[in-house]
Amino acid sequence: MIRRALILGGAAVALLSACVASPVAAPDDLAAFQVVDVRVEAARAVAEAEKPVEVLAAEVEAIVARNVQGVLDGVRSDGTRPVVADVLVMRLFVPTVASAALTARGAAAMDVSVQLRDAQTGEAIGGPRGLRAHADTRFGGVLAAVMTAQALEQGGQAGEIARAARSLGGRMAEIIYGITPS
């Protein structure tokens, strides 16, 4: 009985992962894409964040755009079809030093919707894709709280957002280029 539950649970997770990270187009089309701009909207997510975000929404948008673009440029720079990635940040969690110590929660995380568009016509390519990104893998507990508090003291919330954005860039490379960054 337990074995069956584990198998079904694992299959559900695998299915959900495949749905969330499915490519935006056919493999032949993916080879031609070149992301020339990443446009980010995060104002609502910053305003509604469960913990206070000390970074202004415009700064969050710039941090996410810069880090995602950097990852995507590092993965591919030879595409022939210019595309734009519109990123809507729907949920943003950025711990504070105090909350990391009190709640033993992990790193920054964001849920986003990504819509790829042709850079010349603005036409949508495929449908929007929902993605989740984390600053890094920090499991709960005291060790995660210590690691998060140290990261926040070194780079502040902006540093945590940048880490999550680089993770997001990797997830986006998978759906836009069909490539998993190393």
In this prediction, residue 83 has a pLDDT band, given cuts at 50, 70 and 90, of: very high
* Residue type at position 122: G
Q: Is residue 73 part of a domain?
A: yes
**pLDDT band of 13, cuts 50, 70, 90:** very low
Asked whether the predicted pLDDT for residue 34 surpasses 80, the reply is: yes
Q: Whole-model pTM? A: 0.78
pLDDT digits 0-9 by tens, 120-132: 999 999 999 999 9
Pairwise CA distance, residues 117 & 128, whole Å: 10
Per-residue pLDDT of 139-159, as tens digits, reads 555 555 566 666 666 667 888
Partners of 38 in the β-ladder? 85
Where in the sequence is the domain holding 51, given as residue range(s)? 2-176
- What percent of the chain shows pLDDT beyond 70? 72
Overall domain count for the chain:
1
Higher pLDDT, 142 or 41: 41
**Domain presence at residue 181:** no
Comparing 12-21, 31-40, 71-80, 139-148, which segment has the lowest mean pLDDT?
12-21
Is residue 99 pLDDT above 60, yes or no?
Answer: yes
Q: Is the pLDDT of residue 107 over 80?
A: no
Q: What is the pLDDT of residue 21?
A: 63
| Residue at 120: amino acid letter | Q
Q: Could you give the CA distance from residue 106 to residue 115 in angstroms, rounded to a whole number?
A: 28
- The conformation of residue 120, written as its DSSP 8-state character, comes to T
SS3 69: helix
- Residue 111 in any domain: the answer is yes
CA-nearest of 182, 144, 152 to 166 is 182
